[in-house]
Amino acid sequence: MTNLTRKVVTGLTTGALVASLFTQVAFADTTLTISGNGSSSANNVNVASSNQTTVTQSNSLNVTNNVTSNAQTGGNHASSNTGGNNSISTGDANTTTNVSTTGNLNQADTSGCGCNNGSTTVSVDGNGDSSTNKVDLGQNNTTLTAQNNNANVTNNVDSNSQTGGNHESSNTGGNNTISTGDATSTTNVSTTANANLVSVGGGNGSNGGSSLSLDITGNGENSWNKIDATSGNSTAVEQSNGAWIDNEVASNAQTGGNHASSDTNGDVTISTGDAAANTTVNNEANFNSADVADCGCAQNATGSVSGNGEKSWNALSADLGNTLYVDQGGEGFGNKADLNNDAAANAQTGGNHSSSDTGNSNSDGVDVSTGGASNGTTVNNTGNVNVYGPGPIVLPTGTQVNFTWGWLSSWFGGMFSSNS
């Protein structure tokens, strides 16, 4: 018996970029006050506060696997023998080839949405006649996550098992027998590539927002009072994948192709074992999941202009905005997959020949008997999945799960760490 196992595993753990920002910077309580200043004074407060979180993840994967796997017990010859029995008997030949490529995973957890969770109070109060008072307040939060993967995978696999191809000829006297074992060729090619997973806000949506209070009260006559307040929150997620997978797979099993010829006096028997060729090709590529549901930051704003002196000039302006942008398929983004699979599985027990054999009066003649021949080819392609929201997520394997990090370890064969 000959067993030949070839296993090629390509795992690029360096292709995994994992970013976790579990506690994002948030604004603390802010209080701005212009109060109790004398007449004709000029008072000005400028405050600019911003938080920016940027996560950029990019992977490029280029893999070429050239694999040849052969197992042979056949190709035996017996010829020009005189007297006695001639027998060729082979054992089994088995080849098993596994080619696995795993790579390109981006995982980002940016908790907190970048929202302003503190309270902001701005007060212009009790300043003297003809005073000039101004407050400028700017608060901005930006969370940007960009994830990109490119995978180029080429697998050239040739797997062969042979017990046939035996020759017996020109033997005189006795019985002539060719008997082969089984030939099995099994080839499995698996490619798993390109997954982007981002959670903004810890998967819990809005993180409570904040309150904003603006007051201009009790200032003297002819005073000039102004509050300008801007508060903005922006969340952007961009995900893209490109996969180019080319599989050229040939799996062959042969027990046939045996020849007996020009034998004199005696029986001729050719008996083959079973031949089985099985090929499985699985491609899983391009998966995007973004959980940023309800991440617009709540903003409770109150404002008042009251009790100011005659001929005073008072202005209060507030610009509040929240922007949520998720791009899983826009120009330059989304998923692109080019899959090319050429898979051939061949099993042969036939092609046996007996010719010009001469038996004596007691011989049974020529007996050719073949085993069974079976081949199976399975090609599965799963790709280009975009999920927005908390799930459930339909994985490339068909399993439905809620949005967690744990499924990554199963899809990527445990090669990458996951956070629950």
The reported pLDDT for the residue numbered 112 is 60
Asked whether the predicted pLDDT for residue 66 surpasses 80, the reply is: yes
User: Helices in 278-356 by DSSP H: which ranges?
Assistant: none
- 């005659």: which residue's tokens? 310
Reduce the DSSP state of residue 266 to 3 states and report it. coil
DSSP assigned state of 155? E
Q: What is the pLDDT of residue 116?
A: 59
Mean pLDDT of the chain: 75
Residue 365 buriedness (CB in 10 A; 0-12 / 13-18 / 19+): exposed
Q: Which two tokens stand for residue 349?
A: 């027990």
Q: Residue 239: which H helix or E strand, with range?
A: strand 224-254
351, pLDDT greater than 50: yes
| pLDDT score recorded for residue 298 | 55
H or E segment and range at residue 281: strand 275-291
| 346 found inside a domain | yes
Average pLDDT over residues 27-48: 80
Residue 224 is predicted with a pLDDT of: 94
pLDDT confidence bin for 21, thresholds 50/70/90? very low
In a domain, 420, yes or no: no
| Domain-located, residue 419 | no
State the average pLDDT over residues 127-145. Answer: 86
Question: What ranges make up the beta strands (E) of 116-209?
Answer: 119-125, 132-162, 167-169, 176-179, 183-200
Give the closest residue to 382 by CA, choosing from 395, 394, 396: 396
Q: Is 345 helix (H, G, I), strand (E, B) or coil?
A: strand
Q: Is 417 a member of any domain?
A: no
Domain range for residue 357?
A: 2-411
Question: Which residues, 6 or more positions from 401, have their beta carbon under 8 angstroms from its beta carbon?
Answer: 391, 392, 393, 395, 407
User: 282-314 pLDDT, tens per residue?
Assistant: 888 888 877 775 555 656 778 888 888 888 898
Does the residue 148 lie in any domain?
Answer: yes
Residue whose token pair is 């010009």:
356
Per the omega criterion (within 30 degrees of 0), is the bond before 392 cis? yes
pLDDT tens track for 38-57 = 888 888 888 887 777 788 88
**Interval 370-384 mean pLDDT:** 75
Side chain identity at 284, as an amino acid letter?
E
**Dihedrals φ, ψ of 338, to 5°?**
-125, 105
Q: Is 333 contained in some domain?
A: yes
**Angle 353-357-361 from CA coordinates, rounded to 5°:** 135
Domain count for the chain: 1
Round to whole Å and give the CA distance between 82 and 266: 12
Please answer whether residues 408 and 420 qualify as being in contact, where contact means their C-beta atoms are separated by less than 8 angstroms. Answer: no
Residue 173 Rama label (left phi>0; alpha psi -120 to 50; beta): left
**Angstrom distance (rounded) from CA 316 to CA 96:** 77
Q: Please state whether beta strands 268-271 and 366-369 pair in parallel, antiparallel, or not at all (unpaired).
A: parallel
Q: Would you say residue 383 lies in a domain? A: yes
Give the CA angle between residues 60, 102, 147 to the nearest 5°.
Answer: 40
pLDDT digits (tens, 9 = 90+) for 194-209: 888 887 764 433 445 5
pLDDT band with cut points at 50, 70 and 90 for residue 419: very low
Q: How confident is the model at residue 339 (pLDDT cuts 50, 70, 90)?
A: confident
